[in-house]
Chains A and B, each alone.
Chain A
Amino acid sequence: MNETTGKQGLHAALTGGISRRAVMAGAGTLATVAAIGFPNIVRAQSKTLKVGVYGGYFKESFEKHIFPEFSKATGITVEAIAEPTGEAWLVQLEQAARARQAPADVSMMSQVAMLKGASAELWAPFDLSKIPNAAKVVPHLVNKYPDGKVSGIGAVSWYITLVTNTKSYPQAPDSWAALWDPANKDKLGLLALVSNSFLLEVTAATFFGGTKHLDSEQGQLDCFKKLAELKSNVKLWYRDEAQFEASLKSGEIPMGQYYHDVTGLAAADGQPVRSTFPKEGGILDSGSWAVTRASKAGDLAHVFVDYMCQPSIQALLSRKVGTAPTIDRKLTDLTDQEFAAVSSDIAPIIPRYDLYTSKSDWLNQKWTEMIVG
Chain B
Amino acid sequence: MIRRAPRGLAEHAPILFPALMLVVFFVIPFSLMIAVSVFRRVPGGFYEPDLVFANYERFLTAFFGGVMSFSLGLAALVAALSVGIAFPFTYRLVKLSRGAQIRWLVFLLSILSLSEVIIGFAWSTLLSRTAGITNLFVALGLMAEPQSLSPSFGALLAGLVYQAFPYTVLVLYPALARLDPYLEEAARTLGSSPLRAFFTVVVPALRNTIVATTIMVFVFALGSYLLPQLLGRPQHWTLSVLITDQAIYQSNMPFAAAMAVFLVLVSLALVGLALLAGRREETA
Interface residues of A (CB under 8 A from B): 8-9, 11-12, 15, 85-88, 90-91, 94, 112, 115-116, 119, 186, 192-193, 195-196, 235-240, 242-243, 246-247, 250-252, 357-358, 360-361, 364-365, 368-369, 371-373
Residues of B within 8 A of A358 (CB): 44
Whether a CB of chain A sits under 8 angstroms from the CB of B45 is: yes
Residues of B within 8 A of A360 (CB): 43-44, 250
Given contacts A116-B44, A235-B151, A373-B63, contact A361 B234 (CB under 8 A): no
Q: Mark B119-131, 1 if CB is under 8 A from A, else 0.
A: 0110010001111
**B50 on the A face (CB < 8 A):** no
| Contact, CB under 8 Å: A361 / B248 | no
Q: Which residues of A contact B230 (CB under 8 A)?
A: 240, 243
Q: Which of B44-86 contact A (CB under 8 A)?
A: 44-46, 58, 63, 66-67
Residue among B229, B237, B251 with the highest chain A CB neighbour number at 10 A: B251
User: Per-position contact with A for B188-232: 1 when CB-CB < 8 Å, else 0?
Assistant: 000000000000000000000000000000000000000001100
Q: Given contacts A116-B44, A236-B151, is CB(A243)–CB(B121) below 8 Å?
A: yes
Q: Is the CB of A361 within 8 A of B250?
A: yes
How far apart are the CA atoms of A184 and B128 in the complex, in Å?
A: 17
Interface size class of B (residues with CB under 8 A): 20 to 34
Residues of B within 8 Å of A9, CB to CB, are 248
Closest to B131 in A: A250
User: Are A369 and B130 interface neighbours, CB within 8 A?
Assistant: no
The dominant DSSP class at the A interface is helix
Which residues of chain B from 74 to 126 have any CB-CB distance to chain A below 8 Å in the complex?
117, 120-121, 124
Partner of A86, one of B63, B66, B229, B251: B251
Asked if residues B249 and A195 are in contact (CB atoms below 8 Å), the reply is: yes
Complex alpha-carbon distance, A345 and B171, angstroms: 61
The 5 closest A-B pairs by CB, nearest first: A371-B234, A250-B130, A87-B251, A372-B234, A252-B128
- Where the two chains meet, the residues of B that have a C-beta atom closer than 8 Å to any C-beta of A are 41, 43-46, 58, 63, 66-67, 117, 120-121, 124, 128-131, 148, 151, 229-230, 233-235, 237, 242, 245, 248-252, 255
* Contact (A243, B124) CB under 8 Å given A12-B248, A195-B249, A360-B43: yes
Task: Pick from B128, B129, B234 the residue with the most CB of A within 10 Å.
Answer: B234
Contact between A252 and B130, CB atoms less than 8 A apart:
yes
B43 cross-chain contacts in A, Cβ below 8 A: 360-361
| Given A87-B46, A235-B151, residue A372 in contact with residue B67 (CB < 8 A) | yes
Taking the closest CB of chain B, its distance from the CB of A110, in whole angstroms, is: 12
Q: Are B235 and A372 in contact (CB under 8 A)?
A: yes
Q: Are B129 and A91 in contact (CB under 8 A)?
A: no
Q: Which residues of A contact B66 (CB under 8 A)?
A: 373
Give Cα distance in the complex from A238 to B235, angstroms.
13
Set of chain B residues within 8 Å of A112, measured between Cβ atoms: 44
Q: How far is the CA of A8 from the CA of B247 in the complex (A)?
A: 12
CB distance from B220 to the nearest CB of A (A): 21
Known: A251-B130, A252-B128, A252-B129. A357 touches B234 (CB 8 A): no
* Complex: A246 Cα to B124 Cα, angstroms: 11
Q: How far is the CA of A247 from the CA of B63 in the complex (A)?
A: 30
